[in-house]
A and B are shown apart, each in its own frame.
Chain A
Amino acid sequence: MFKVKIYLNTLLRDTNRWSWGTLFLIGFVTLPLFALFIGTLSGPGESWDHLLDTVLVDYALNSFLLVLGTSFFTLLLGVSSAWVVSRYHFPFKKIVEWLLIVPLTLPSYITAYAYAGLFDYGGPFSTLAKALGFGTPKVDILNLPGLIFILSVSLYPYVYVASRAVFLYQSSRLIEASNILGANRFKTLFYVVLPMARPAIFGGLLLVIMEVLNDYGAAKYYGVNTLTTGVFRAWFALEESDTAIFLSIILLLMVLVFVLLERWQRGNRSFQMATKSAIRLPSIHPSKTTKWMLFIVAFVPVLLGFLLPTFQLLQWLGITWEKTASTSYGSIALQSIGIALLSAILTVLIVLMVIYFPKWNRLKVLKKSTRLATLGYAIPGAVLAIGVMLPTLQIDRWLLQFNQNSGEIGAGTLLLLNGTIIALVYAYIIRFLAVGFKPLQGSQLKLGESLSESSRLLGKNTLKTFFKIDVPLLKTGIFSAILLVFVDIMKELPLTLILKPYNINTLAVKAYEYASDELIMESALPSLTIVATGLLPILFLNKLLLNNS
């Protein structure tokens, strides 16, 4: 009893306004999850046993193999190219270095469509094989290994970006030390660099895994049944939202396992290196043949992840552009960019709150709540969309009632949240919080506490310190977070399909509409526009990443 009293007293003493702010944020972020959770209370739908007997094992196994295979290949492509780029000189290095990130601009479902076209009957590949005298071999890519290939070449940049940053700056001192102590390059790589870089690489890999578990478009087209496609099937074809929610919970558990794995492998060790000691080591100039071999190592991911699919899209564009290009198309592009930009800025604002509010609050319970921020990324977009609809609609109903009570009838069925851009942006924020969170948290950690502590000792309050010290120092981090989120929102599909308001269309939706009407060639124009809008931010981001640190 006494203990409880003490506990309550500390609770009261330590609660400050940031605690309330943190609580509000927790509510903001978990509201859709909570709505979904309530949906599970009634148990799974009647077809659950049927699924268990027939297809569930397949779904889970496919998802698992997909994660495993894609992880392996993204690591292979991402780490090797990052190592080569950060340590060696080779021809066209400058171009290849940033081209390696560019596949991020291509949504994986579009890469999937493009490859289906490349290897189609009468497609570029079979035409080439014929011309070279190989006859007409059929490369069947529409299957699980094919899907692993697609996801690997389109998602490896997450690993590449993460590992390159460590290779370039964090490991340099250690590489020097290792070399001086007589270890050769391979020993240095496998015993010093990779173990040191592991947390960063795994962080990138975690993003890859979440993307794999979110993928719906590519898996559907390639005929691979995964837990994610199962969610759609249960929700829509079987009409059992409760069963779908149960499936998504299995998905969430899978993600959770990987998140815990990452924490476990990181353990209590801190891998931070003082930034001041991080210098960029001079690159090595290898012999001419080695140079070209290194070029190939770095170029293959670019070729597979970007150049080949873009080639196919361009070819399709050549056939269909007259039909698809129009003035209304331009307005779709503008709408798309506007919404993505607005949402990206708001997302990063919330990210900052999620990082700082728990820090400023003094309640221990709330300190760790930042972890919740990354949850949204683990939920398939379509499921999250329903999770957003449930509470926003409820609020709309309350508002309507309130309006009618106060005699203000006449607004008709005009809803404030649902079916408006607010619900859509809200969903984007929750979904992509994790994307903005990672880089910002990284830069914030690097910043350390000493500067803001000094500022506060000098009598500036929390907010003043934040705006005068943290924000200017985090400027680059904030900017890159906005760009990253922007590029992701431009590509987002399932959530947008469900939540987008009237007469608003995005490029991703347009591309999907064409593809789902079996007009895949027509989807080239919106797809390539997505790529084009992504290119500039990515190019810029690359510059920032290189100049910064």
Chain B
Amino acid sequence: MKKIARIIAAVAVLLCSCKKKAKDEAKIQEVNVYTHRHYPPDQELFAQFEQHTGIKVNVVNASADELIQKMQLEGPTSPADVLITVDAGRLVRAKEKELLQSIESPFLDSIIAPHLKDEEKQWFALTKRARVIAYAKDRIDPEQLSTYEDLASDTWKAKLLIRSSSNIYNQSLMASLIANLGEEKSKEWAQKIVENMARDPKGNDRDQVKAVVAGEGDLAIVNTYYIGRMINSEDAVEANAGKGVGIYFPNQNDRGTHMNISGAGVAKYAPNRENAIRFIEFLASGEAQLVFAEANYEYPVNQNVDPAPLLQSWGSFKEDQLNLSELGTNNKAAVLLFDDVGWQ
């Protein structure tokens, strides 16, 4: 009994000291970041920011959906300063739920193109990713390819590889089609795509590329930066798979290739608002954008920074300049549509 009393006392002392410590730390400059990005290069960037500014970066990693849920539940007591997601749809959702606030930043205004930021300046893109067609170099002539819409034609019966509909990149692609073609046509398209699938959707983007190289199908719909990472992988199998596919940017003669972004916004109840703005500005700066581009093969949003040489070798292309807010507003419709056509 005595022992237990002692333990309880010890724990109580410990808790109290923690609380005191936490109070002291509140005076230290910090910024609380809720992020869906957890790539190793990001951590380097956070460390750089700490070094430059002396502002401590506190990180909560989880999926954007969970973070939004968390912020919503926390309401005005939320400690979040910055929300970072890996797609525009979730930023739009956060805005709709009134979890973000508008910020004034001449730097961000000047450096980021209009379609890559929120009209009310509640969020800003940090990097761009293109969702492209990866084709088997040995079997497919890129001349045969043209648009996303064309992937629904009978030519590609049992030739197509794409991951499951629970993936956000697919949801956003679908949302962009709904915005561009309307719901009815998009549904027809999705129906055809399901019929053209070489196998039931499974695995991640890299798995689709490997399956193309192995001959399970001829085409895969994937994000560009995965190919970049594969080609530079230390694993020979991965690297070979990455080199075995060609990159095709669809819809070059009309609206352009579907783009998604990774982006950030300042939380509505941010306790460290100024630090949050500095943090986002830093991530959009040339120095940070170079890291995004070189280490993670994403397209920079900072117009003064060039993409990685590998990405440049794929050539420049026309981007779909659809207002990214549409990805958010059509997201739910996209998910329901996937269910309707049986896209697993």
A→B interface (CB under 8 Å): 47, 50-51, 54-55, 116, 120-123, 136, 138, 140, 142-143, 220-223, 225, 229, 232-233, 235-239, 241, 319-320, 323, 382, 386, 389-390, 393, 396-397, 400, 410-415, 418-419, 463, 467, 497-498, 500, 502-503, 505, 509, 513, 516-519, 521
CB-CB contacts of B88-105 with A at 8 A, as 1s and 0s? Answer: 000001000000000000
Near A by CB (< 8 A), chain B positions 177-221 give 199-207, 210-211, 213-214, 216
Q: Within 8 Å CB of A463, what residues of B?
A: 1
Q: How near does chain A come to B103, taking the closest CB pair, in angstroms?
A: 19
Q: Which of A47, A236, A410, A412 contacts B69 (CB 8 A)?
A: A236
Q: Is B138 among interface residues, defined by CB-CB distance under 8 A?
A: no
How far does the alpha carbon of A393 sit from the alpha carbon of B76 in the complex, in Å?
11
Query: Contacts A54-B340, A393-B73 known; A502 to B26 CB distance under 8 Å?
Result: no
Q: Which residue of A lies closest to B67 (CB)?
A: A498
Q: Which residue of B lies closest to A349 (CB)?
A: B4
Q: Which residue of B lies closest to A116 (CB)?
A: B203
B69–A415 CB distance below 8 A: no
Q: Is B143 among interface residues, defined by CB-CB distance under 8 A?
A: no
Q: Which of B60, B216, B271 contacts A412 (CB 8 A)?
A: B271
B→A interface (CB under 8 Å): 1, 22-23, 26, 32, 38-40, 58-63, 65-66, 69-70, 73-75, 77-79, 93, 164, 166, 171, 199-207, 210-211, 213-214, 216, 226, 229, 234-237, 240-241, 269, 271, 331-332, 335-336, 339-340, 342, 344
Q: List 21 A-B contacts (CB under 8 A).
A: A54-B342, A116-B207, A120-B210, A121-B210, A138-B214, A220-B166, A223-B200, A232-B166, A236-B66, A237-B166, A238-B335, A239-B332, A241-B69, A319-B235, A320-B234, A323-B40, A396-B77, A400-B77, A497-B66, A498-B66, A518-B204
Q: Which residue of B lies closest to A416 (CB)?
A: B19
Query: Contacts A222-B202, A386-B69, A414-B23 known; A236 to B38 CB distance under 8 Å?
Result: no
Query: Contacts A122-B237, A320-B234 known; A414 to B65 CB distance under 8 Å?
Result: no
Q: How near does chain B come to A344, taking the closest CB pair, in angstroms?
A: 15
A121–B237 CB distance below 8 A: yes
B77–A415 CB distance below 8 A: yes
Q: Within 8 Å CB of B234, what residues of A?
A: 319-320
B26–A412 CB distance below 8 A: yes
Q: Within 8 Å CB of A518, what residues of B?
A: 204-206, 226, 229
Q: How near does chain B come to A129, taking the closest CB pair, in angstroms?
A: 13
Query: Contacts A223-B344, A229-B166, A414-B23 known; A389 to B61 CB distance under 8 Å?
Result: no
Q: Within 8 Å CB of A519, what residues of B?
A: 229
How far does the alpha carbon of A57 sit from the alpha carbon of B181 in the complex, in Å?
31
How far does the alpha carbon of A123 sit from the alpha carbon of B342 in the complex, in Å?
31
Q: Which of B65, B75, B200 contacts A236 (CB 8 A)?
A: B65
Q: Within 8 Å CB of A517, what residues of B?
A: 38-39
B344–A225 CB distance below 8 A: yes
Q: Which residue of A lies closest to B334 (CB)?
A: A237
Q: Which residue of A lies closest to B43 (CB)?
A: A328
How far does the alpha carbon of A450 sit from the alpha carbon of B229 in the complex, in Å?
67
Q: How near does chain A come to B195, taking the closest CB pair, in angstroms?
A: 17
How far does the alpha carbon of A172 sit from the alpha carbon of B75 in the complex, in Å?
61
How far does the alpha carbon of A502 sit from the alpha carbon of B32 in the complex, in Å?
8
B335–A498 CB distance below 8 A: no
Q: Within 8 Å CB of A467, what residues of B?
A: 1
Q: Within 8 Å CB of B332, what residues of A?
A: 237-239
Q: Which residue of A lies closest to B163 (CB)?
A: A223
B211–A121 CB distance below 8 A: yes
How far does the alpha carbon of A500 sit from the alpha carbon of B66 in the complex, in Å?
12
Q: How near does chain B come to A153, taking the closest CB pair, in angstroms?
A: 19
How far does the alpha carbon of A408 sit from the alpha carbon of B181 in the complex, in Å?
57
Q: Which of B23, B66, B202 contacts A223 (CB 8 A)?
A: B202
Q: Within 8 Å CB of B335, what residues of A?
A: 233, 237-238
Given A320-B234, A505-B61, 11 other A-B contacts at CB below 8 A? Answer: A50-B339, A116-B203, A225-B344, A413-B78, A413-B79, A418-B73, A418-B74, A467-B1, A497-B63, A498-B66, A517-B39
Which residue of B39, B164, B210, B331 has the most chain A CB atoms within 10 A of its CB atom?
Answer: B164
Q: Within 8 Å CB of B241, what residues of A?
A: 121-122
Q: Which residue of A lies closest to B30 (CB)?
A: A502
Q: Which residue of B lies closest to A504 (CB)?
A: B60
How far does the alpha carbon of A47 sit from the alpha carbon of B229 in the complex, in Å?
38
Q: How near does chain A come to B138, taking the closest CB pair, in angstroms?
A: 15
Q: Within 8 Å CB of B204, what residues of A?
A: 221, 518
How far does the alpha carbon of A412 sit from the alpha carbon of B77 in the complex, in Å?
9
Q: Which residue of B lies closest to A390 (CB)?
A: B73
Q: Which of A123, A320, A410 contacts B237 (CB 8 A)?
A: A123
B271–A413 CB distance below 8 A: yes
Q: Which residue of A lies closest to B40 (CB)?
A: A323
B23–A397 CB distance below 8 A: no
B61–A509 CB distance below 8 A: yes
How far does the alpha carbon of A142 sit from the alpha carbon of B70 in the complex, in Å?
32
Q: Within 8 Å CB of B59, what residues of A?
A: 502-503
Which residue of A415, A467, A502, A521 has the most chain B CB atoms within 10 A of its CB atom?
Answer: A502
Q: Which residue of A lies closest to B331 (CB)?
A: A237
Query: Contacts A497-B62, A502-B59 known; A55 to B339 CB distance under 8 Å?
Result: yes
Q: Within 8 Å CB of B237, what residues of A?
A: 120-123
Q: How near does chain B come to A525, taking the closest CB pair, in angstroms?
A: 12
A419–B1 CB distance below 8 A: no
Q: Which residue of B lies closest to A346 (CB)?
A: B11
A54–B339 CB distance below 8 A: yes
